A = this chain, B = another copy of it.
Amino acid sequence: MDQSLIRQFRDTVGNAYVLDSQQERFAYSYDATPLYQAMPDLVIQPGDVEEISAILKLATKHRIPIVSRGAGSNLSGGTVPVEGGIVLHLNRMNQLMEIDTDNLTSTFQPGLVTADLHKAVEAKGLFYPPDPGSMRVSTLGGNVAECAGGMRGLKYGTTKDYVMGVQAVLPDGSIVRFGGKNAKDVAGYDITRLLVGSEGTLAVISEITAKLLPFPESTQTLVAYFRSLVDAARTVSAIIAAKILPSSMEFLDSGTMKVVEDFSHIGLPLDMEAMLLIQQDGAALQVEQDIERIAKLCRTSGAVDVQLAATPEQGDELMTARRAALSALARVRPTTILEDATVPRSKLAEMVDQVTVIAKKYNVEICTFGHAGDGNLHPTCLTDERDKEEIRRVEQAFEEIFHAAIQLGGTVTGEHGVGLAKAKYLELKVGSEGMDLMRRVKQAFDPLGIMNPGKIFAKDARRRVVIGNHEHAH
């Protein structure tokens, strides 16, 4: 990048917040998604919305790609700067500006870490339900850009169900606001919701107002083990059919259970085909009643063993084991590719079966876990990126998994986003006319195509990019 231009950026945000050494740029050349890497030309850490605006004006003038990011914990290559340009790192804009207990809202900057918001609102007896797996490091700006989900999706929805208002900067530098603290607001198109999940391809989100709920009085956890996958899936359906919506219904297959047990030593039985980890929250009396009914339904649907967590701590331990699934799997082989195929909840057993068949067909190792309650599965492939031949088989297997999900009425991504990793599969879901429409929407925001270029929309020529053998931090 031209030195006089870099000087203009330095003048805008201050010298310390423009990073251009090889080493610094390398740190922003990848995210939590394996197999993708590309160097940015410059990294900028703006301090406020005016600085973002000034940066975008210059970027527009000089047609420089802008990739905004927080912790880079996404799993779709969403923040890899495949066309170079500027990585806009929003870590300095991490203020929790307000918790409004009258209106049950919170307003914060995009760089705030998800778990920090959880802690702050919970201290006031309030609740921000979205809990993506990476919540200890992920930022809320990233959560909004990707429409992050988590374990509580079934009962509480995902990030899109909580974002009430945004301030955002358009590529030309104009600062816009949509939505706000109003529980009802139909003033024009719902641009707020359109920005949620837009993966940095439309605008830079500079402030967020989110809805909060009262924190549930009580939470209970139950674990059920199954000799057959079909029984586990039947149990999920039976609970829904009984008109109970648990806060979480998590699923682990036998492969994942083995690896998690190896990692956490919490005593998971290794002769089972599947386990469900079910959590209910709400008023104490109600939770008690629900958990009892759930336990009964597990037993009548074929669970071999049902255990109620005796204490909240024991419940937490079980959930922590589930949260450790990805870390545990990541230790087994050099490269871990976590996917996100999602189906309507009723198709869960069929989908897990198909994953097993496809893994066998391509001779690759896939463990499956995920959010059974909302059909959001994470088939996870343990592989080695240095083995080009195996990686080719892995890609073929995932391509077939995506097709299977679509065949079952599902989608190619439930909560990780399209990014680079799923760009070539998006058309499977929305069709060529849907793709054209999305391209026109992109154009309406970003006529020059400088916002996170290469994401969501596949260029046929581009396949999975690099890769050095750097270490990924999962």
Contacts and interface: CB of A to CB of B under 8 A. Distances in A.
A183 B289 contact: no
B125 A441 contact: no
Nearest to A127: B243
B413 A186 contact: yes
Interface string A209-245: 0000111000000000000000000000100110111
Given A186-B146, A434-B191, A344 B412 contact: no
B430 A182 contact: no
A38 interface: no
Contacts of A346: 100, 102-103
A444 B194 CA distance: 14
B184 A414 contact: yes
B418 A187 contact: yes
Contacts of A282: 286
A434 B429 CA distance: 30
Interface string A180-192: 1111111111110
B240 A185 contact: no
A415 interface: yes
Nearest to A237: B102
A456 B188 contact: yes
Interface string A157-174: 110110000000010001
A180 B443 contact: no
Given A104-B240, A170-B433, A190-B193, A158 B176 contact: no
Contacts of A184: 149, 153, 158, 342, 371, 374-376, 411, 414-415
B414 A178 contact: no
Nearest to A417: B186
B194 A429 contact: no
A99 to B, nearest CB: 13
Contacts of A154: 183
Given A190-B160, A243-B214, A437-B444, A181 B102 contact: no
Nearest to A172: B433
Contacts of A286: 282-283, 285-286
Contact of A243 (B198, B215, B412, B442): B215
B344 A414 contact: no
Given A182-B343, A190-B160, A345-B183, A176 B433 contact: yes
A379 to B, nearest CB: 15
Contacts of A194: 189-190, 193-194, 441
A127 to B, nearest CB: 9
Interface in A412-455: 412-418, 422, 426, 429-431, 433-435, 437-438, 440-445
Given A170-B437, A431-B176, A411 B197 contact: no
Given A102-B346, A344-B181, A441-B444, A418 B243 contact: no
A101 interface: yes
Given A104-B240, A182-B344, 5 more contacts: A102-B344, A103-B344, A182-B376, A183-B345, A187-B429
27 contacts: A102-B240, A102-B241, A126-B243, A149-B184, A153-B184, A158-B184, A181-B344, A182-B414, A183-B342, A183-B374, A183-B414, A184-B342, A187-B412, A187-B422, A188-B430, A188-B438, A188-B456, A189-B456, A190-B193, A190-B196, A191-B430, A191-B441, A193-B193, A193-B194, A213-B245, A282-B286, A440-B444
3 closest A-B pairs by beta carbon, nearest first, are A183-B374, A214-B243, A184-B414
